[in-house]
Chain A
Amino acid sequence: MEHLTVDVAIIGGGTAACAAAVALREAGLTVALLEKRLCGAGASGVNFGGVRQQGRDVAELPLSRRSRALWDGLNAKLGEDVGFEATGHIKLARSESDMAVLEAYARDAAEHGLDLQLLGANALRAEMPWLGPAVVGASLSPTDGQANPRVVGPAFARLARRLGAELREHSPVRHAAHDGAGFTVEAEGVTVKSRSLVNAAGAYGGAVAGWFGEAAPVAPLSPNMVVTEPLAPLVTRSIGVVGGDVYLRQTRRGNVVLGGGRGTADVADGLARPVSATSLAAGAKTLALVPDLAHAQVIRSWSGLDGEMPDHIPVIGPSSTRPGLVHAFGFSGHGFQLGPAVGEILAELVTQGRSTSPLHPFRIERFAGWRGGPYRSEGEIEH
């Protein structure tokens, strides 16, 4: 059994956790990070890969704007190409009422400095003649884009390690507690003592919060993903729809990644798997948007395990019961773009006790006295 004593222990090895380890090392603190499998292998690594501000809950927009600025410099920071491309994200309307939703959202987004361009059917077809007849209009966010989720988390993990953070993979955390003097985190093969503790445990974030007497109803969420073989360039932008029942993008390599609906997840073993009927349904919805994909072949499907909160926005902020404990979990299927900024925010919370970003909507206290009982997440997941 290994024993480590550090300034900050981090539970979880997703992008936000690894980015926090980087920022904390840059601030001169010692860090130990505990990941049950491999860093960046959970929701951080198997998501759609959308780097999107558009369509988020407006409460998330300040964080998302902050993160977007970081994405431009990620390759340089990480020393690796993470595949980020500002292809723009376009959200499609399939009815006039959808269009009204987009118009209202564009007004809200403008207040947060996010400029969206509303496109009518003619303007949209002029730019993207390959869109199907179901589409009547759209909202374009030119600065949004996409990246390769499989490499971002691992690259942050390696940078953290290069900066001197102690990363322990295949080390699931069994329990964490505070003895009045500091935190003790017991993981498989290693025990960590620390002054501060970061709970970035994703779908398990609620359980960690529970160890400190805090209610946080997290439901497992497993987006269903499908990818085609590489195709000639066609889908120029990352695409979503009002309602969120389907989304797609074409990678640099040419594969079209499409998502929609949910897979199944086993929270106990942490594994999620896609559902065939859902994959086929997402394919049909995709073809309604982009009929030219009719001859594409699907080569793989997958899912991953994330945590979803009842109000679909994460918990980010200090613990309400235990000073020194900081939470960031429950990203509800859209944490990938936020990861780099959340890493910085976590480091601010640990080192200064507050953040320059507005975190009030994400406070864990909003679930104090949660009476909902076991909570089951459902409905569409917007990416």
Chain B
Amino acid sequence: MAEATVAIVGAGPAGLRAAQVLAEAGLRPLLIDEGHRAGGQIYRRPPPGAERPAADLYGFEAGRARALHDLAEALAPRIDYRPGTMVWGIAPREPAGFDLDCLGPAGHGRIAADRLVLATGAMDRTLPFPGWTLPGVFTLGAAQIALKAQGMAIGRRVALVGAGPLLPLVAHQYAKAGATVVAVLDVTPLGAKVRAAPRLAAVPATLAKGVWYTLACALRGMPVRSGVRALAVEGDHQVEALTFEDASGRRHRVACDAVGASFGLRSEAQAADLAGCRFVFEPLTRQWQPVRSGQGHSSHPQVYLAGDGSGIGGADVAELQGERAALALLADLGRPRDTSREARLDRRLARQAGFRAALEAAYPYPHHLVDRIGDDEIVCRCEGITAGALRRAATEREAREMNRLKALTRAGMGRCQGRVCGHAAAEILARRLGVPVEAVGRLRGQAPIKPIPLREPA
């Protein structure tokens, strides 16, 4: 009997663990990786020949990174690994299953799969502030990628700003790599973190790491501040300085040549959208995400979800979810079940979920800053659409939801298809309309997920 073809999209912690479980069961899954070496963004590797010690690249996570990289090598003969391959379209095929449109080293290709495990990861959430489109402003994720993949810092004097637990981590990584971190500025009030601390303690190791990174930053003499406001980047053609107000309202100016900014994470859920998964608004992180059961089922019977692409949980949770989703898939194929393994995973995932809720409470998406975004500020940088244009579309042109806002203003219509500006645009629209952000809906996903060449690559 022909075995089901399973395609795993994404080769980070979730995708790799799913591949492992399926390979152990004797399947030969496809593992489709947009990157060139398995590991995902979190455990991204330098190109061969440019390696650096894992401890330098991944800090506390060096052991996990090594384990996953070793796993990828060990799995190689037992899976169909497709590095450097982007899935840009997903369409249902008759009578069941999917066609995946891929762009890989050999050009455009089409992969047929009976079932999908989507482990597509996350990217930074942005929030416009004056100067955020200047050359030299990066997301924190980009700052990490530069460091992990190329051994480069984004600048010589780097300021890191935003919200979320990544902030002290990246600061630590940068300082350790020899960059000068001139400021670590968190827009979250300190109070929110203090209130969340007891629940964060549910997973003490993670809490300890967070505390350690923060302390390490402080010990290295980095100015770490919480509750900062009125961030602005100055510079004529590139970043020259960062200005902000501290929690007591005092104005500061820090000279720097690069800024890393991030306001939390957003799921990269376009593949789930194209596969036909139902979405639900997740109030804690204020974003739409594909519906996912505790076992990794989506709303679509042949699609499984794991990792940050369907709910922000971090790398450790992603590994557990990848394993769990693959077990659910095997069960659906009628394979014998290891119920004690399933139960053990379910218990660990439940514990992590409590921690995650606390973490989100500690580092909420700072939507309260939306009102401070000036009318002249560019929100959609692909198309150059300002906050004022979005607000006018709401008041003068009857834009009541995101797709109409996009149609009328072009916001979200450019290269990134709203991946960068979508959240901020939704918050701005909702604030202007006086409705909860979920009421304005979400941008519909459309192929290609990321730009593809008009001409088929030779």
B237: chain A residues within 8 A (beta carbon): none
**Contact at A151–B453, with CB atoms within 8 Å?**
no
Which residues of chain A have C-beta atoms less than 8 A from B417's C-beta? 299-300
- A151 and B407 contact, Cβ closer than 8 Å, known pairs A276-B89, A280-B108: yes
Query: In the bound complex, what is the Cα–Cα distance between A302 and B408 (angstroms)?
Result: 16
Interface stretch, picked from A23-31, A289-297, A350-358, A372-380, is A289-297
Q: Which of B81-120 contact A (CB under 8 A)?
A: 88-89, 91, 99, 101, 108, 110
- Tell which of B398, B446, B454 touches A287, judged by Cβ atoms closer than 8 Å: B454
Q: Contact flags (1/0) for B141-167 with A, using CB distance below 8 Å?
A: 000000000000000000000000000
B452 neighbours in A (Cβ, 8 Å): 297-298
Query: Contacts A280-B108, A287-B454; is A229 near B408 (CB within 8 Å)?
Result: no
Dominant secondary structure of chain B at its interface with chain A: loop
List the B side residues contacting A150 at CB < 8 Å: 407-408
Do the beta carbons of A287 and B447 come within 8 Å of each other?
no
Interface presence of A228 (CB below 8 A): yes
**B454 near A300: Cβ-Cβ < 8 Å:** no
Contact between B455 and A154 (Cβ–Cβ < 8 Å)? no
Q: Are A228 and B410 closer than 8 Å at their CB atoms? A: no
A299→B414 contact, CB < 8 A: yes
For the complex, give the distance between the alpha carbons of A297 and B398 in Å: 32
Query: With an 8 A cutoff between CB atoms, is B52 at the interface?
Result: no
Which of chain B's residues have a CB closer than 8 A to the CB of A230? Answer: 414
- What total of A-B pairs shows CB separation below 8 Å? 83
Cβ contact within 8 Å between B453 and A253: no
Neighbouring A residues of B99 by C-beta, 8 Å? 276
Asked if B338 is an interface residue, CB under 8 A from chain A, the answer is no
A300 CB contacts on chain B under 8 angstroms: 413, 417, 446-448
Q: Are A229 and B414 in contact (CB under 8 A)?
A: yes
Task: Closest B residue to A286 by CB, please name it.
Answer: B454
Tell me which residues across on chain A come within 8 A of B454, comparing CB atoms. 228, 283, 286-287, 293-298
CB pair B453–A274 under 8 Å, yes or no, is no
How distant is the Cα of A53 from the Cα of B99 in the complex, in angstroms? Answer: 39
B404 at the interface (CB under 8 A from A): yes
Q: Which residue of A lies closest to B88 (CB)?
A: A276
Determine if A284 is an interface residue (Cβ-Cβ < 8 Å): yes
Pairwise interchain contact A158-B398, C-beta atoms closer than 8 A: yes
Write the chain A residue with the least CB distance to B412: A300
Is residue B191 contacting chain A, with contact meaning CB distance below 8 A? no
State how many angstroms separate the Cβ of B219 from the closest Cβ of chain A.
Answer: 46
Q: A157 CA to B404 CA in the complex, in Å?
A: 13
**Cβ-based interface call for A41 (8 A):** yes
User: 1/0 per residue B289-325: CB within 8 Å of A?
Assistant: 0000000000000000000000000000000000000
Judging by beta carbons under 8 Å apart, are B455 and A274 in contact? no
Min C-beta distance of A152 to chain B, whole Å: 11
Interface string of B417-458 (1 = CB under 8 A from A): 100000000000000000000000000001110011111100
Which of B110, B408, B414, B454 lies at the interface centre, i.e. has the most chain A CB atoms within 10 A of its CB?
B454
Contact with B along A150-175 (1 / 0, CB 8 A): 11001001100000000000000000
Known A-B contacts A154-B397, A154-B407, A299-B415; the reply to A294 vs B451 at CB < 8 A is: no
Select B446's contact among A38, A275, A283, A301, beta carbons within 8 Å: A301
Which residues of chain A in 251-289 are interfacial with respect to chain B, using CB atoms and an 8 Å cutoff?
253, 273-277, 279-280, 283-284, 286-287
* A80: chain B residues within 8 A (beta carbon): 397
| Known interface pairs A41-B404, A299-B417; A274-B447 also in contact (CB < 8 Å) | yes
**Cα–Cα, bound, A354→B35 (Å):** 65
- Looking at the complex, which one of B101, B403, B415 makes contact with A276 (CB distance below 8 Å)? B101
Q: Is the CB of A297 within 8 A of B408?
A: no
A154–B404 contact, CB under 8 A? yes
A151 shortest CB reach to chain B, Å = 6
A50 an interface residue at 8 Å Cβ cutoff? no
Can you pick out 14 interface pairs between chain A and chain B where the beta carbons lie within 8 Å of each other? A80-B397, A154-B408, A229-B415, A273-B91, A287-B454, A293-B455, A294-B455, A295-B455, A296-B454, A297-B454, A298-B452, A299-B417, A300-B447, A300-B448
> Which of B's residues lie within 8 Å of A, judged by CB?
88-89, 91, 99, 101, 108, 110, 383, 397-398, 401, 403-404, 407-408, 410, 413-415, 417, 446-448, 451-456
19 further contact pairs, Cβ within 8 A, besides A154-B407, A276-B91: A41-B403, A41-B404, A41-B407, A151-B407, A157-B398, A228-B454, A274-B446, A276-B88, A276-B89, A276-B99, A280-B456, A283-B456, A284-B456, A287-B454, A295-B454, A297-B454, A298-B453, A299-B414, A301-B447
Chain A residues with a Cβ under 8 A of chain B: 38, 41, 45, 80, 150-151, 154, 157-158, 228-230, 253, 273-277, 279-280, 283-284, 286-287, 293-302
4 nearest interchain CB pairs?
Answer: A297-B451, A150-B407, A276-B89, A276-B101
